[in-house]
Amino acid sequence: MRLHLDYAVAAQKQAAAELQRSQDWIDRALLDDDRVTVRRLQLALRRSSGLMSSVSPVASIVRMPKGP
């Protein structure tokens, strides 16, 4: 069980870092208005959405009550 929790915590930290990186790209993209920047924004938003869906199962594992 401990190994699963360690894995879940590591996966959640990685997902949080990826979300931050996506948010950083979004923030940078909002400063410019060219086609490349718009494409980067679209990719960052898509990646962010995908990561959010992977965080939910990990969060539920981390919150699982400990068994006897």
Provide DSSP, 22-60: HHHHHHHHTT--SHHHHHHHHHHHHHHHHHHHHHHHHHH
Q: Residue 55: what are its φ and ψ, rounded to 5°?
A: -75, -35
pLDDT for 11: 86
The model's pLDDT over 4-52, given as tens digits with 9 standing for 90+, comes to 778 888 888 888 888 888 888 877 766 666 777 778 778 888 888 777 7
Q: Where are the domains of the chain?
A: 2-62
With a cut of 70, say whether residue 58 has pLDDT above it.
no
pTM of the model: 0.44
Length of the chain: 68
The model's pLDDT over 26-37, given as tens digits with 9 standing for 90+, comes to 777 666 667 777
With a cut of 70, say whether residue 62 has pLDDT above it.
no
Q: Which two tokens stand for residue 25?
A: 């790209």
